[in-house]
Amino acid sequence: MAKKDAQVSSREGTISIHEETRGARAVKYLLIGVSVLFLFVMLVLPLVTVIIESFKKGFGQYLNAVTDADTISATLLTLEATVIAVAINTVFGLFAAWAVTKFHFKGKKVLVTLIDLPVTVSPIIAGLIYVLTFGRQSAVYPFLSAHHLEVVYAVPGIILATVFVTFPFISREILPVLEAQGTDEEEAAAMMGASGLTIFRRITLPHIKWALLYGIVLCAARAMGEFGAVSVLSGHLRGKTVTLPLQVEILFGDNKFMQAFAVSSILVVLAVVILIIRSIVEYVGKEK
Amino acid sequence: MKKKVRIIPGFGLSMGVTLALLSLIVLIPLASLVVFTAKMSPSEIWEVITRKRVLASFEVSVLTAFIASAVNAVMGVILAWVLVRYDFPFKRLLDGMIELPFALPTAVAGISLTSLYADTGLMGRLFSKFGIKVAYTRLGIIVALIFIGIPFVVRSVQPVLEKLDPLYEEAAGMLGASRTRIFWKVILPELRPAIFTGFGLAFGRCLGEYGSVVFIAGNHPYETEITPLIIMSELQEYDYSSATAIALVMLAAAFLILFLVNLIQIHNSRILKGGH
């Protein structure tokens, strides 16, 4: 941006307001300073705090906290919920994006709005609607209990809540890319006799590769960190229905601060990895 | 669009999968909220949502979400400006960091901010020198909500600022406008819809936020009890009617905000299209 400004002004031979006068430079450093300070206090400090607090009692204690049986079972449950949420939402995202961008039909806007609905709903309300659907007062409860299917305060509820809060994450990334690409290439391929799967694999997928990957990363990030909705449906049965964020809450509530931060540090590492992947995906995507 | 023969295959399949999953995951559970509400009388709902403790929670939630989003609106414009217009070392790092609140689980942010801003924490000690308590007060809720809302305004203003032609600013400059005047009269009007959009999205998110707030809020009734927490405690007492009634108010607020944000975006895209 700055280079472009300089070119414009030198070509025209006028005095550009972007030329760095002393006042402009002062404003520049002031604004950069304010930004760096703000992000340092609001983002970097909390991250550093997690790491410092988790190693406060030494590496041995840290290792104990991280390899605690409850923590390991929480990690496994978090992974399970995340993998299932990513799988379901990838399938949904691909089909939904295909349906919305490749065809014309009535009510397309309504459909897109409905797909986006879960992100506007508070996580607590997301949990509430599943309690109302599958809980004791619901119409399907007698059927569920007759077949010994537990949803509320059980693992299926946690997985459903995770799928709900991340529902539009992948379709939302793919949609705009497919929209911009149009339907010409697919139509040409279809007229030449290519099957749906071939069209998707050879034409559509290469276009949306990066958007899909980015969506998966976002979905995974949100899925493993979901707290509110999962908290409503979990019942907090230790070793059974506790995910990593809930384990953090339990330990913190028990005043086991060091352990709470040690478990958090796992999530911090995952978050940083996700940010790095995000940056790489975005960078490579832009290069293309 | 006139009726056209569908050349591309897979309409039935993709539409079927989309609608089936949408119904199972989103529509049926949401419908159960409607069904449950229908069983309650309006006066019953009114009685719940006008309880003093509930009204106080609305005040706490709206006030803290508004202040936090306002802070983020100002900081968001500054951050977007710095990231778009200036070059400096580690700029990419700064840019990548903005998304951290999306990637970091809210519970982790919650306990970390709590220990930072408690009286014994690094930031808490600093503030307590001036006699200000942050953790376990409304100020603490605002801090947590600022954290949650950082990406929204930055990410909605950034693309607009990137497209903004600096020639207009130069023209204004050559006509003798001062830098501050250029900012207020030339740049800010162009950014305004993006700022409002980002503000609206952040505000909506902050109203429903739970994980990062419950730890730092202290959760004193009437003082630092947010609305999602009240729903949570009603649920823990198996009082589903009260939880549903309060949730309806929150849903209405969320949809209203979404509607306003969409209005701004439609209005804005019309201006953009009309301009060219």
Torsion angle of the four alpha carbons A223, A229, A231, A237, in this order, in degrees rounded to the nearest 10: -70
Kindly report the nearest CA distance between residue A141 and chain B, in angstroms: 13
CB B179 within 8 A of CB A23: yes
CA distances from B180 to A33, B173, B176, B183 (A): 19, 11, 12, 5
Q: Which helix (H) or strand (E) holds A208?
A: helix A205-225
Mean pLDDT over B175-202 rounds to 90
Measured on CA atoms in the order B158, B159, B162, B167, is the torsion positive or negative? negative
Per cent of chain A over pLDDT 70 is 93
Query: How sure is the predictor about A7, in pLDDT bands with cuts at 50, 70 and 90?
Result: very low
What lies within 8 Å, CB to CB, of A110 at 6+ separation is none
pLDDT given at position A8:
44
Instruction: Provide the chain B residues 184-213 that lie in CB contact (below 8 A) with chain A.
Output: 204, 207-211
Q: What pLDDT score does A14 carry? A: 45
Residue B168 has a pLDDT of 84
Inter-chain contacts counted by CB atoms under 8 A, chains A and B: 290
Residue with more model confidence, B59 or A4? B59
Report CA torsion sign: B127, B129, B130, B132: positive
Mean pLDDT rounded to a whole number for chain B: 90
- Distance CA(B83)–CA(B95), nearest Å, equals 7
Burial class (CB in 10 A: 0-12, 13-18, 19+), B165: exposed
Distance from CA of B192 to the nearest CA of A (A): 19
Cβ–Cβ < 8 Å for B201, B133: no
Q: Is pLDDT above 70 for A195? A: yes
- Measured between alpha carbons, how far is A198 from A205 in angstroms, rounded to an integer? 10
Work out the widest C-alpha separation in chain A, in whole angstroms. Answer: 84
Is A1 within 8 Å of B84 (Cβ atoms)?
Answer: yes
Return the residue of B nearest to A117 by Cα. B26
Where do the domains of chain B lie? 51-271
Q: Identify the band that residue A3 occupies on the pLDDT scale cut at 50, 70 and 90.
A: very low
What's the whole-number mean pLDDT along residues A136-160? 88
Summarised one tens digit per residue, pLDDT across range B112-169 is 999 999 999 999 999 999 999 999 999 999 999 999 999 999 999 999 998 888 888 8
Name the residue with higher pLDDT: B8 or B202. Answer: B202
Q: How confident is the model at residue A4 (pLDDT cuts 50, 70, 90)?
A: very low
Alpha-carbon span B167 to B170, nearest angstrom: 5
pLDDT the model gives residue B274: 55
Q: Please, which residues 210-269 of chain B have a Cβ atom closer than 8 Å to chain A? A: 210-211, 215, 228, 231-232, 235, 238, 240, 243-244, 247, 250-251, 254-255, 257-258
pLDDT category at A20 given cuts 50, 70, 90 is low
Query: What residues of A are in contact with residue B240 (Cβ under 8 Å)?
Result: 131-132, 135, 137
Tell me the ipTM for this assembly.
0.89
Confidence of residue B5 (pLDDT cuts 50, 70, 90): low
Q: Tell me the pLDDT tens digit for each residue of A54-88.
A: 999 999 999 999 999 999 999 999 999 999 999 99
Confidence of residue A255 (pLDDT cuts 50, 70, 90): very high
Q: Is B69 on the interface with A (CB under 8 A)?
A: no
Angle at the Cα of A57 (from A51 to A61), degrees rounded to 5? Answer: 90
The whole-angstrom separation of Cα B51 and Cα B57 is: 10
Q: How many helices (H) and strands (E) in chain B?
A: 15, 0
Query: Of A113-122, B124-133, B136-145, B200-209, where does mean pLDDT reach its minimum?
Result: A113-122
User: How far is Cα B111 from Cα B116, in angstroms, rounded to an integer?
Assistant: 9
**At A14, phi and psi to the nearest 5?**
-100, 170
| Percent of chain B whose pLDDT exceeds 70 | 96
Which whole-number Å values give the CA distances from A40 to A43, B154, B210, in the listed order? 6, 16, 23
Measure CB to CB from residue B115 to each of A99, A137, A257 and give the nearest one.
Answer: A257
DSSP label at A200?
Answer: I
The pLDDT tens digits of the residues spanning B75-103 come to 999 999 999 999 998 898 899 899 899 88
Cα B107–Cα B110–Cα B114 angle in degrees, nearest 5: 145
Residues from chain B contacting residue A6 (CB–CB below 8 Å): none
The residue of chain B with its CA nearest to that of A124 is B228
For the ranges A118-132, A139-153, B221-235, the lowest mean pLDDT is seen at: A139-153
Helix axes A108-120, A155-165, angle to 10 degrees: 120
pLDDT attached to residue B273: 62
The three state secondary structure string of B138-203 is HHHHHHHHHHHHHHHHHHHHHHHHHHCCHHHHHHHHHCCCCHHHHHHHHHHHHHHHHHHHHHHHHH
Identity of the residue in B7, B231, B240 whose CB atom sits nearest the CB atom of A137: B240
Contact criterion met (CB < 8 Å) for A129 and B8: no
The pLDDT tens digits for A227-247 are 999 999 998 888 889 999 999
Chain B interface disruption, residue of A36, A121, A250, most B CBs within 10 A: A121
pLDDT over threshold 70, residue A161:
yes
Residue B271's pLDDT is what?
Answer: 65
| pLDDT at position A34 over 90 | yes
Domains and CATH numbers, chain A: 2-53 (no CATH), 57-287 (1.10.3720.10)
Q: How far is CA A120 from the centre of its chain?
A: 14
Closest CB to A124: pick one of B147, B167, B231. Answer: B231
Report in angstroms the alpha-carbon separations of B3 from A105, A106, A109, A246: 9, 11, 18, 52
Q: Which CATH architecture has domain B51-271?
A: Orthogonal Bundle (1.10)
- Contact yes or no for A170/A212 (Cβ under 8 A): yes
pLDDT score of A249 more than 70? yes
